[in-house]
């Protein structure tokens, strides 16, 4: 077996299940899960209709490169959303089966395992970044996202020696779990560092369409490239998905876009990898990427939930509205694992301990004494969860 498999840690939700198994929640209270970032809003009806109308496509092998219509729809969406010009659908866009699969596989394709390569990534983080690095023969190098740096890495504190070994810089903007958005100035600085030290920037932007101010959408990496005239997106790729934007996590539909010189060999890798998106899913994705009305309605639902939940928690626990996304990254007065276990045992509400999605780095785990709460359930459940959390804290 690949010896790097032994370096993989248990997934956060396996650890959470073990934590919960040691206690018994009150049967009189219905369970409410704020732990998993799985959207619960209704998926667009027109997507389901397209899937149903195209079940005959089960008889067709799908193209790894994607249907031309899908690549064109994605290129058009990118151009409109991020103010880009002349995105080439045939060379700068590649459909994938959700961002998790693509992040993992692109890391395998990009990393040269010689010369002690590093994958730099935020901490806390989406665990795929770490596993992808290990299985590619690289070491993850964690950059703390603490409150005092606005929940974004302090890139100025990274030494030249570390940048020299970096082959892949993973960004997550808006961040999971913090919701922090990386601004244009920082992205421009990182692009300059990529040029200087010869590494690839991969930006996980799957939460980019969940924001609160319609006049201030999060900036994307390709948008930052265009702002400095880098229309070939050299060294830069982004990941996007329909899971959060369109409430379609089960469709497993997303894309990678950016530097054609990266995507060309990555497409070759994928043809061997055997992970083409089913034709009926591609057809449904064309419709989803081409419609913004359902996305706006989705954002409105989250705005209402955040406003009502934060009104209940105001003054009860230290928690702020994020820049974007659907998570609250709240401080706890107890250990985050104790808080999560007791909250489940006493109020039947499940949250994710922050230390489960962080790693010890520079003598601390930036997820400790925090919990991640995903406001993905319907409004009534989220409000009830907030009331139970307030009740729990007030009884401590």
Name the stretches of the chain with pLDDT < 70. Answer: none
Last residue of a domain, one of 291, 316, 333: 291
* Domain interval for residue 28: 3-42+294-394
Q: What is the pLDDT of residue 68?
A: 97
Task: Spell out the SS3 assignment of the chain.
Answer: CCHHHHHCCCCHHHHHHHHHHCCCCCCCCCCEECCCCCCCCCCCHHHHHHHHHCHHHHHCCCCCCCCHHHHHHHHHHHHHHHCCCCCCCCCCEEEECCHHHHHHHHHHHHCCCCCCCEEEEEECCCCHHHHHHHHCCCEEEEEECCHHHCCCCCHHHCCHHHHHHEEEEEEECCCCCCCCCCCHHHHHHHHHHHHHHCCEEEEECCCCCCECCCCCCCCCHHHHHHHCCCCCCCCEEEEEEHHHHCCCHHHCCEEEEECHHHHHHHHHHHHHHCCCCCHHHHHHHHHHHCCCHHHHHHHHHHHHHHHHHHHHHCCCCCCCCCCECCEEEEECCCCHHHHHHHHHHHHCEECEEHHHHCCCECCECCCCCEEEEECCCCHHHHHHHHHHHHHHHHCC
Q: What is the pLDDT of residue 269?
A: 95
Q: What is the pLDDT of residue 274?
A: 85
Last residue of a domain, one of 264, 291, 318: 291
Tell whether 163 and 206 lie within a shared domain. yes
Q: What is the pLDDT of residue 32?
A: 98
Tell whether 80 and 189 lie within a shared domain. yes
Q: What is the pLDDT of residue 10?
A: 84
CA 277/CA 254 separation, integer angstroms: 9
Indicate the pTM of the whole model: 0.96
Tell whether 164 and 272 lie within a shared domain. yes
Last residue of a domain, one of 241, 274, 291: 291
Tell whether 143 and 241 lie within a shared domain. yes
Tell whether 193 and 328 lie within a shared domain. no
Give the CATH number of the domain where residue 387 resides. Answer: 3.90.1150.10
Q: What is the pLDDT of residue 84?
A: 97
Give the CATH number of the domain where residue 263 resides. Answer: 3.40.640.10
Please indicate, yes or no, if residue 51 is contained in any of the structural domains.
no
Q: What is the pLDDT of residue 207?
A: 98
Tell whether 298 and 277 lie within a shared domain. no
Please indicate, yes or no, if residue 52 is contained in any of the structural domains.
no
Tell whether 307 and 270 lie within a shared domain. no
Tell whether 166 and 311 lie within a shared domain. no
| Structural domain total, the chain | 2
Tell whether 300 and 181 lie within a shared domain. no
Tell whether 349 and 273 lie within a shared domain. no
Tell whether 98 and 131 lie within a shared domain. yes
Tell whether 337 and 272 lie within a shared domain. no
Q: What is the pLDDT of residue 31?
A: 98
């Amino acid at each position: 077996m690949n010896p790097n498999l032994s370096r993989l840690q248990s997934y956060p939700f396996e650890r959470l299940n073990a934590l919960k198994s040691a206690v018994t929640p009150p049967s009189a209270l219905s369970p409410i899960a704020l732990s998993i970032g799985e959207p619960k809003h209704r998926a667009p009806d027109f997507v389901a209709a397209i899937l149903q109308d195209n079940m005959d496509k089960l008889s067709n092998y799908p193209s790894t490169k994607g249907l031309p219509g899908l690549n064109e729809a994605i290129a058009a969406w990118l151009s409109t959303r991020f103010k880009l010009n002349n995105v080439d659908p045939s060379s700068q866009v590649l459909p994938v089966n959700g961002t998790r699969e693509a992040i993992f596989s692109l890391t395998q394709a990009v990393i040269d395992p010689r010369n002690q390569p590093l994958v730099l990534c935020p901490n806390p983080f989406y665990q795929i970044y770490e596993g992808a690095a290990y299985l590619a023969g690289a070491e993850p190098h964690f950059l703390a996202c603490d409150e005092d740096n606005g929940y974004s890495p302090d890139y100025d504190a990274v030494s030249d020696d570390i940048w020299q070994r970096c082959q892949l810089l993973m960004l997550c903007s808006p961040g999971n779990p913090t919701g922090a958005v990386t601004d244009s100035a920082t992205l421009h600085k990182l692009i300059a560092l990529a040029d200087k030290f010869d590494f690839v920037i991969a930006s996980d932007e799957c939460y980019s369409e969940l924001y609160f101010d319609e006049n201030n959408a999060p900036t994307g990496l390709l948008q930052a490239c265009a702002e400095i005239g880098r229309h070939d997106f050299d060294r830069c790729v982004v990941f996007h998905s329909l899971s959060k934007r369109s409430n379609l996590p089960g469709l497993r539909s997303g894309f990678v876009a950016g530097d054609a010189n990266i995507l060309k060999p990555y497409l070759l890798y994928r043809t061997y990898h055997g992970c083409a998106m089913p034709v009926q899913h591609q057809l449904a994705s064309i419709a989803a990427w081409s419609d913004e009305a359902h996305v706006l309605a989705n954002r409105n639902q989250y705005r209402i939930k955040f406003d009502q939940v934060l009104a209940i928690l105001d003054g009860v626990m230290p928690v702020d509205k994020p820049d974007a996304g659907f998570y609250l990254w709240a401080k706890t007065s107890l250990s985050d694992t104790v808080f999560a276990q007791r909250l489940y045992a006493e109020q039947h509400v499940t949250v994710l301990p922050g230390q489960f999605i962080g790693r010890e780095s520079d003598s601390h785990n930036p997820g400790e004494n925090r919990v991640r709460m995903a406001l993905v359930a319907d409004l009534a459940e989220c409000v009830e969860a907030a009331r139970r959390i307030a009740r729990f804290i007030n009884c401590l």
